[in-house]
Amino acid sequence: MGRTSRKRSTLANRAIAASAALLLGGGGLVAANFYASAHESWGGDRNGPRTQSAGGSVSTIDCPEVVNSIEEIPDDQRFAVDRELATLDNQITTYYQRFADNKERVQSDRTFAENQILAPLRNERLVIIQRIVALIDRSAERPQGLEATAPCTLRGDEDQNNDQNDGQDNDGDQEQGGQDQGQDGGDQDNGNDNGDGGNEDNGDGDNGGNEDNGGQAGNGPVADDFVEIESVEPNVENPRKFRGASRGTFTTECGVNENGKFNSDNVIAAPGVSNGAHHMHDYVGNQANDAFASDDDFANGDTTCNNQGDKSTYYWPVLRLQNGQNEFDAGEDGGGNDQNVGEIQTPSDVTLTFEGNPRSKVTAMPKFLRIITGDAKSFTNGDANANASWSCTGFEDRQLKDKYPICPEGSQVVRSFKFQSCWDGQNTDSANHRTHVAFAEEDGSCPDGFRAIPQLVQRIVYDVPPPVFDGQNASVFAVDSFPEQLHKPITDHGDFINVFNEDLMDEMVDCINDGRRCQ
C-alpha cells in the first residue's frame, strides 16, 4: 500500500526522544527538564528537546501523540485500540485540570509537579500504552518502543514558538498548507511567516481574559493569538494549472447547522467513545453522526444537504464568543466541563466545494472515505499537520495559520479548510486516520501510489465582533479545543466522511473533469 511520505515534526521528534530518556533515566527527569535552564537538553544532546527556563510561566501539559508512533492497527483490533487512545486523551484532560487548579504551586515546586502530575500521569499512560501494544500483538507485528511515549512534560507558550521556528524546513521539506506533502492551493505557508504580521507583543498569556492564560475559561486564547488582518501581507499563491488539469468544481449546499446539531464525539478518531473530542462540533450534512454511528447509520441517515444524494457528514469545532454568556453545554462534557465556554456562533455562510487537480483528472472517492485535515493537538504536537486558514472577507489573499484575524469594520471572520486530495486507492481509513490520504505535491501531482480525488474545500464565515482584552470584561472568539491546547487557532481542524451515492459521485467527477461548475 502506498503511504504518505511525511516526516514527523521536529517538536514531535523531540517529545519522543525526551520520553525515551525519561523511561531510561527515571521519573525525576521530567521535573528536571521543566526547571532546567533554557536550551539545556537531555543527556547533553543539544538536539534534544528545548526546555522551559527556570521560573518561567507554564501554560500546559505536553504529551507525545501515541498514534503517530503506531505503524499498523489490525482491523479486528481497531475499535479497541481507538478506545484506548481516547482513554489517553481523558487522562490528559484530568491532569490538565489538576495542573490548572494548582498552577502557581506547580510553577514554584518541582517536587509537587513531579509527584502530583507528571509521575502519576506517566504511570497511567504506560498502563494504557502497554494495553495497546498487547491488543496489536494479537493480530499483527508487536509495535516496538511505544512505551517511550508515556512521559509528558510541562511547557509554556514560548516553547511552541521556539520549536516551530526551529522546526521550519530543518529537513529540507517545505511544510506548505501544514503538510510535508505540500498544499495545492492558497494555504501555502499560511501564517508561518505572515501570521505574526503587525503583532509586536509575543506575550506570555498575562494580557488576556481574567486569568494568566487568558480567555474566560482560563485556558486561552490570549491577546497574542490575534493579529489585525490589515497588517498581514498577501501570501496566497494558487498553483499553476497544467494541460490535462481537472478545472471544474462541484458545490454541495448543506446549510449552516441551523438546526443546532452539536456533540463532542468524534466518530473517526474515537468511535464508540462519548466525548471523544473533548470539544463541541458543528455538524452539517448527515444527521446520524455521533460516536456510535456505523456506515449503515450514515447510509440511512437524514441529511441537511439540498441534494439528497449527498449524505456525507461535515463537521468542525464550534466557534464561541467568550462573552460571559452561558451556553446549553456550560455544565456538560465537551463544553464547560472541558473548559469550552461562551456562546456558540452559527456561521453566516458555509460553502462546501469539491475542486479538481492542477495536473490530472480526478477519480471517484470511495464511499465512507474518512478524512481529517488539520490537527486538534497542533499546539503540543507541532505544526506538521496544522492546516486550517484564518482570514477576513475582503482580505482572503492573506491567510493565517497560527493567529486569529482581527477584521476591520464591515468584514467577517473566515476559516477555511483544504482537505487532502490524493487517495491510496485501497483504504477508507488508516491507523492514524491520515496516511491513507495525502496532499498533492507542490506541482499538483500526487505522491507515488496515490491517485487524485476531488478536493473538498470548506469556507466558513462568521459575523463576530473583534476581540476585546479588558480584564474581567474580556470578550474574544475562539474555536473549541482539548483543554490543554488552550484554544489556539493552530489547533483548528475539519472532518469529512464521504456518503455520496454512486450516481452523484460520478456526476461530481464528470463535472470536475469536464471543467464545468456544478451544484
| Number of C-beta neighbours around residue 6 at 10 A | 18
The length of the chain is 519
Split at pLDDT 50, 70, 90, the class of 23 is very low
**pLDDT at position 157, please?**
61
CA–CA distance, 476 with 321 (Å, rounded to integer)? 6
3-state SS, 41-90, equals CHHHCCCCCCCCCCCCCCCEEECCCHHHHCCCCCHHHHHHHHHHHHHHHH
Least confident of 51-55, 162-166, 225-229: 51-55
Least confident of 201-205, 322-326, 335-339, 460-464: 201-205
Contact 378, 392 (CB under 8 A): no
**pLDDT exceeds cutoff 90 at 93:** yes
Contact 181, 188 (CB under 8 A): no
Q: Is 416 helix (H, G, I), strand (E, B) or coil?
A: strand
**Regarding predicted confidence, which is higher, 474 or 390?**
390
Tens digit of each residue's pLDDT (9 = 90 or more) over 376-392: 999 999 999 999 999 99
Count Cα atoms within 13 angstroms, Cβ side, for 73: 27
Average pLDDT over residues 168-173: 36
Torsional sign, CA 18, 21, 26, 31: negative
**pTM for the model:** 0.82
**pLDDT exceeds cutoff 60 at 239:** yes
Split at pLDDT 50, 70, 90, the class of 213 is low
Q: Is 273 helix (H, G, I), strand (E, B) or coil?
A: coil
Q: Give me the chain's average pLDDT, please.
A: 83
Percentage of the chain lying above the pLDDT 90 cut: 72
**pLDDT at position 194, please?**
39
Tens digit of each residue's pLDDT (9 = 90 or more) over 108-160: 999 999 999 999 999 999 999 999 999 999 999 999 999 999 999 998 765 54
Tens digit of each residue's pLDDT (9 = 90 or more) over 324-375: 999 999 999 999 999 999 999 999 999 999 999 999 999 999 999 999 999 9
Average pLDDT over residues 266-293: 98
Report CA dihedral (433, 435, 437, 441) to the nearest 10 degrees: 140
CA–CA distance, 225 with 205 (Å, rounded to integer)? 9
Least confident of 25-34, 240-249, 355-364: 25-34
Query: Looking at this protein, which amino acid is placed at residue 93?
Result: T
